[in-house]
Structure 1
């Protein structure tokens, strides 16, 4: 007669630790607004729809400069730990204290990424934003 073997308590089961990834963000809109404390930079007011799938624990926002000119080149703008129940955020929230820092400027193009967490590499909404030079 075969003896039932006890499972090793340190053995990791895929089912036991399965992660439910967040829903893909939808309805992402970006409105450029004047950035308080700056005379020539802007901020993006980013809004999105409530999730329609698995719960979102938190969001993060990235703004990448897509225009490779002296006036438009800037470092990545990054905002994280945005609560999962939020439907908006502003980025950047304040002017960068260093010239090489994050900046959104008129006349430049940007890629805005809204990432829902837990992230699986696909729960990201991308939006291209081109600002006029005014």
Structure 2
């Protein structure tokens, strides 16, 4: 932190001009100067330095944020590609299951037809027998 500029000579001259003795003016000037030295006051330069430091930190945060945004975009692209691949795989698997179901249905239909033919034949034979 900076210190407030204090012109002790001018202050002594002002006090002497107001009629104080030189020793008294010097003592008062010394007391005022010491009180100013004890005070920790931020100067415009100090505030400017802090502002620059804050700006630099924000720039770093912005850069990190942009990097994270880029990484998120990459993950989204990867996930989108992965989802597309999974959908293709599922479509292929579903097509295979449909073929299997159709094959099984055809087999069952043939067996059912056979059972019907056998049943009709048996019924016809029984009716001829009586």
TM-score for both structures, normalised by structure 2: 0.20
Indicate the structure whose relative CO is greater, using CA pairs within 8 Å and at least 6 residues apart: 1
Higher helix share: 2
